[in-house]
Amino acid sequence: MKHISILVPQGAVLGSVEGPRQVLTEVNKYLKSIGKPALFNVQLIGLDEQVPVAGGKYTVFTDALTQHIRKTDLIIVPALDGDLQKTLDANRDFIPWIIQHYQKGAEVGSLCVGAFLLASTGLLDGRQCATHWMAAQQFRQLFPNVTLVEDKIITDEQGLYSSGGAFSYLNLILYLIEKYAGRQIAVFMSKAFQIEIERQSQSPFIIFHGQKDHGDEAIRKAQEYIEQNVEEKITVDQLASRFAIGRRNLERRFKKATSNSVVEYVQRVKIEAAKMSLESSRDNVNEVMYSVGYTDPKAFRLTFKKITGLSPIEYRQKYNREVLIG
């Protein structure tokens, strides 16, 4: 039987504690119903016997304290709520415990912004990690040695797992169920809980907001110029000339400040504007394309799909209110 430790940190998001517990417990019920033994011993593990969550609105009663767990097979780090730095400080005592059990052979999975606590262990340095796209900039600032993959739903790095934002953590839970219990059980759970099992990307859900909290005034002005002239074809040379910065210097400073190259930033701003138009207007795809400064339909479609994971038509069908109602 696999021992699973679902951590209950202070400031945990209740759903990401109870959700995994419920799905994993249901695996045991299903196995028993078909005459097979239970697979998981699921416990809620904390630093205290009672842990307030959701701003004190709920209290989680843990099954065991960290010091009582001698061996575990999988540690699940739930999403965290509130001021992430304060929440990390309040849960520092989990860090050596996670490291110790990983070194003893346990696997560790973080859900949503639970990645911040997992990354605090240093175990993710030099490895890929996913988290909620809204926390991406803060994550990069706090953990520059971790390779953040903003679009991913799941990462799997030598027994260290992470999920994308919000309820996409359920896709990681299914992934782990498939690993431990097999494909058939994972598919059954996906149907029972109505989770899209093959979902791999959170790109369609990302809303791009360029990072401006960096202190480089010239780069901030270049960002604003790009955002205010979305219909124009803007090149690196044009920006360098306009803001009197050498091309190489501009590219280096822009990447350092925003985590995007100039070309990537221009593309993401244009595609974000196209997404908003596809969500709310009746303009056809070509009209949307022209409105954001593209003239080549193929280039527009390829860039749109690269950033969102969907074609412009698929995106409109998914998010345009009139299409959904119609």
Copy the structure tokens of residue 261.
């190259």
Query: Which residues constitute the domain of residue 231?
Result: 217-323
pLDDT at 201: 63
Q: What is the pLDDT along the chain (326 residues), one digit of tens a residue?
A: 999 999 999 999 999 999 999 999 999 999 999 999 999 999 999 999 999 998 888 999 999 999 999 999 999 999 999 899 999 999 999 999 999 999 999 999 999 999 999 999 999 999 999 999 889 989 999 999 999 998 788 899 989 999 988 888 999 999 999 999 998 899 999 999 988 877 666 666 666 777 787 889 999 999 999 999 999 999 999 999 999 999 999 999 999 888 889 999 999 999 999 998 998 888 999 999 999 999 999 999 999 999 988 999 999 988 886 654 44
**Which of 138, 90, 92, 95 is closest to 113 using CA atoms?**
138
Choose one of 182, 205, 228: the last residue of a domain. 205
Same domain, yes or no, for 188 and 266?
no
Is beta strand 154-157 parallel, antiparallel or unpaired with respect to 160-163? antiparallel
pLDDT of residue 112: 94
Residue 201 shares a structural domain with residue 226: no
- 262 with 178, same domain? no
Burial class (CB in 10 A: 0-12, 13-18, 19+), 220: middle
Q: What is the pLDDT of residue 203?
A: 64
CA-to-CA dists, residue 281 to 125, 231, 272, 321, 323, angstroms: 44, 16, 14, 9, 11
Domain count, the chain: 2
Do 185 and 319 belong together in one domain? Answer: no
Looking at the fold, whether 172 and 294 belong to one and the same domain comes out as: no
Q: Side-chain half-sphere of 306: how many Cα atoms within 13 Å?
A: 11
pLDDT for position 321: 67
Statement: the pTM of the whole predicted model exceeds 0.75:
no
Residue 221 identity = K
Q: Give helix then strand counts, H and E, for the chain.
A: 15, 11
**Looking at the structure, do residues 263 and 297 belong to the same domain, yes or no?**
yes
